[in-house]
Structure 1
Amino acid sequence: MDAQLVAFTGVAAGMVAMPGADFTVVVRNALASRRAGVACAVGVAGGLLVHTALAVAGLAAVLVAVPVLYRTLQIAGGAYVLYLGVRAVRGALRPQLAAQDPEGQPAGGTGRSLRQGFLTNVLNPKAPVLFLSLLPQFVPDGVPVLTRTFLLAAIVVVMALLWFPLVALLVDRLGQWLRRPRTTRAVEGVTGGALTALGVTLLAEPLAH
């Protein structure tokens, strides 16, 4: 048994399942509909695919080497997450918006949900840097680096494709309770507050420099 591969699988599962912007945006879309939640989940996995591909290609190193590019991506990602958070908070405060998606459009659009999941993940500049530093730790001596790194990247994407749709389906399963007007507004408020706080945090670091 490949002990390092088993260890990496556990690390990858923990990284993917850790609550954050990806988790929050999937939950919000799943409240609109099962289809929207699953589409958002697939979008998140697509973003992870981009990050892992960049790490495999070594392009993520460019973000570390070019501070201006890294800060630009930080600002773009923080601004997008903040935007989603503010929309969610507004939806919680205005009941008539409760059935809308995070961009204020009528719920149920799989294309919008897919895009939200993808952008929320792909605009996170810390992800490619994390993968760039993490993946090499699980490449044993004597093993073809490219093949092994592709395998590790595939594990991360598969984990995302399993976890986030599961979250969406669970939220949909609890939908009868979660979609009650009062509960929906509470969830909107909590997830919106979390996204807003995360967006502010993401923006604070690059703007402070």
Structure 2
Amino acid sequence: MIDQFWTFFIAITLLTLFPGVDSLLVVRNTSRGGWKDGIATSTGICSGLFVHAMVSALGISALLLQSAIAFNGLKLIGGGYLLWLGCCSLWHAVRRKKMDVLEWQPTIPRKFQLSRSLREGFVCNVFNPKTLLFYMAFLPQFIDPSRSAILQSLFMAMVHFCIAMVYQGILAILVCQISDWFKNHSLGRLLEGLAGVILISFGLRIFWERRI
């Protein structure tokens, strides 16, 4: 256990419900490959939380902040990956439009690939510098110095994992319920295109932020 567990539980729940890159990626991939794609993506995202917990507990995050090259490299990798995901969404949105015009047939969802979904979620979370900073600043507030910092950090990551999986799982199911309606309308292309634009904006914002 940790100090002030219920304070941590309420705070991390509220922060998880706040929409961000992770939620957007789950929506995007659910629209792409159904609820399995969304759940797998969520699993990859949430698995990355344990990496941040270990990094925070071992003090590597503080070392990264002191090393401008290492931290800036982390930001560039994370921003570049978001840009790549956003460009892929825009490309598929344009491609779906061309296929609809040429064939006049409903678009077919792309085949679900477990490894791809897990990888996209995991990489997106692990190389998100804001998650690293959040864990470094947030977790130590609830750690009891008389106990193992690593075990307490992993415990908090497990709580966060469970909360995020429930929230993102519900989100994936809701998106899946309306995905059939989107597939037969231009709104389907609009949704994927909008997801691409937002992902690209997140990536560019990471690039434009002042680096240390």
Please tell me the TM-score bracket, short chain as reference: 0.7 to 0.9
Q: Select the structure of larger CA radius of gyration.
A: 2
> Distance in 2 between the 1:65 and 1:3 partners?
28
Quick one: which amino acid aligns to residue 5 of structure 2? L
- Distance 1:3-1:49 versus aligned 2 partners, 3 A rule: closer
Point out the more displaced range, 6-15 or 137-146: 137-146
Q: Find the counterpart in structure 1 of residue 195 from structure 2.
A: 191
> Distance in 1 between the 2:127 and 2:3 partners?
32
Deviations 1:113-145 (CA, angstroms, capped at 9, x unpaired): 111111111110221221111111123575654
Quick one: which amino acid aligns to residue 127 of structure 1? T
> Distance in 2 between the 1:144 and 1:80 partners?
34
- Distance 1:99-1:57 versus aligned 2 partners, 3 A rule: farther
> Distance in 1 between the 2:125 and 2:152 partners?
24
SS in 1 for 2:111: coil
Quick one: which amino acid aligns to residue 60 of structure 1? S
> Distance in 1 between the 2:149 and 2:77 partners?
32
Indicate conservation of the 8 Å contact 2:37/2:112, yes or no. Answer: yes
Indicate conservation of the 8 Å contact 1:82/1:199, yes or no. Answer: yes
Indicate conservation of the 8 Å contact 1:42/1:165, yes or no. Answer: no
Where does structure 1 lack aligned partners over 5 or more consecutive residues? 101-105
TM-score (norm 2): 0.85
> Distance in 1 between the 2:125 and 2:30 partners?
17
Indicate conservation of the 8 Å contact 1:33/1:107, yes or no. Answer: no
Q: Find the counterpart in structure 1 of residue 104 from structure 2.
A: none
1:171 and 2:175 correspond: yes
Point out the more displaced range, 160-169 or 118-127: 160-169
1:123 and 2:124 correspond: no
Quick one: which amino acid aligns to residue 114 of structure 2? T
Deviations 1:6-56 (CA, angstroms, capped at 9, x unpaired): 111122112222212111111111112111111111111111221122112
SS in 1 for 2:4: helix
> Distance in 2 between the 1:185 and 1:149 partners?
41
- Distance 1:68-1:161 versus aligned 2 partners, 3 A rule: same
> Distance in 1 between the 2:48 and 2:151 partners?
21
> Distance in 2 between the 1:128 and 1:161 partners?
19
Structural RMSD (CA):
2.3
Matches within 5 A, 1:1-209: 4-31=4-31, 32-95=33-96, 96=99, 106-139=110-143, 145-205=149-209
Deviations 1:34-80 (CA, angstroms, capped at 9, x unpaired): 11111111111111221122112222222112111000010010011
> Distance in 1 between the 2:44 and 2:120 partners?
7
Where does structure 2 lack aligned partners over 5 or more consecutive residues? 101-106
Q: How many residues align?
A: 202
Deviations 1:157-178 (CA, angstroms, capped at 9, x unpaired): 2222222222112211222223
SS in 2 for 1:174: helix
Q: Find the counterpart in structure 2 of residue 103 from structure 1.
A: none
